[in-house]
Amino acid sequence: MNLQKLRKLVECLRLQDAENPSAIEETLRLNISLEDGYCLFNLYEQWLGAFSFLPGRKEAVLPLLSLAEKLTKFSSDDTLAMYSLSEWQQLVLLRGPVETVLFEKCTNCSHSYVSMGTSGFYDANGLVCDSCGNVYFKSYYDETPPPRCACGREFPSVTTYGCRQCGEKKSLSQGGVSPYEYFSKHTYIRGPGA
């Protein structure tokens, strides 16, 4: 692990916690890559996700800082040990069990919709409410129907893959946003086992 960059990241996060206006720019300048270590890079990616938009998720600063401080005492570059820390769980709460949120446009009817890009290790579908964009995560093994969304609309069924309007599977990507950003404006519920 690149200890020099890790220590700089700790300093930057302390500055950000103290609401120093140059903190974000200095953190961006660190430009941490995979070669600097898996834990450090993963942590930095969380920071990028949480602050790639304005005003960012300020609630992420303290767990990020605490994780960075703990990483300075890690004896090996052990990502699983990092993921098991409670601060990591706090970050997951902020972004949901999602890697990226994708905007798609149907190639047939041009309907736009949102899809949840989850890790291949996550055995659940992210069902996005067509009306308000809130999300229900439904485990592959859960047989019970999802509850109604808080807005009153039903969540789409897990079999509705692709366009909600016409059923077309092909879509054009319209880019994506960080789940930290998406879930600053939408809520999610994890169903049983998800």
Q: Which residues 6+ apart lie within 8 Å of 63 measured at CB? A: 87, 88, 90, 91
The two tokens of residue 21 are 């206006």
Q: Which of 8, 14, 70, 111 binds Zn ion (CB under 5 A)?
A: 111
> What backbone phi and psi angles, to 5 degrees, belong to 68?
-60, -40
Q: Which is nearer to Zn ion, 47 or 155 (CB)?
A: 155
Q: Considering the rule CB under 5 A, would residue 28 count as an interface residue with Zn ion?
A: no
Q: Which of 32, 64, 106, 116 binds Zn ion (CB under 5 A)?
A: 106
CA dist 5 and 36 (Å) reads: 8
Q: Which stretch binds Zn ion (CB under 5 A): 54-62, 117-125, 164-172, 176-184?
A: 164-172
Q: Which stretch binds Zn ion (CB under 5 A): 20-28, 42-50, 71-79, 130-138?
A: 130-138
Q: Which of 66, 79, 90, 108 binds Zn ion (CB under 5 A)?
A: 108
Half-sphere exposure of residue 181, counting CA atoms within 13 Å on the CB side?
Answer: 13
Residue with tokens 């692990």: 1
Residue 15: beta bridge partners? none
CB of 136 to Zn ion, least distance (A): 9
CA dist 164 and 111 (Å) reads: 8
Q: Please give the angle made by the CA atoms of 42, 45 and 71, to the nearest 5 degrees.
A: 40
Q: Which of 29, 58, 148, 153 binds Zn ion (CB under 5 A)?
A: 153
Q: Considering the rule CB under 5 A, would residue 172 count as an interface residue with Zn ion?
A: no
Q: Considering the rule CB under 5 A, would residue 186 count as an interface residue with Zn ion?
A: no
Q: Which of 93, 147, 157, 168 binds Zn ion (CB under 5 A)?
A: 168
Contacts with Zn ion by CB under 5 A lie at 106, 108-109, 111, 129, 131-132, 134, 149, 151, 153, 163, 165-166, 168
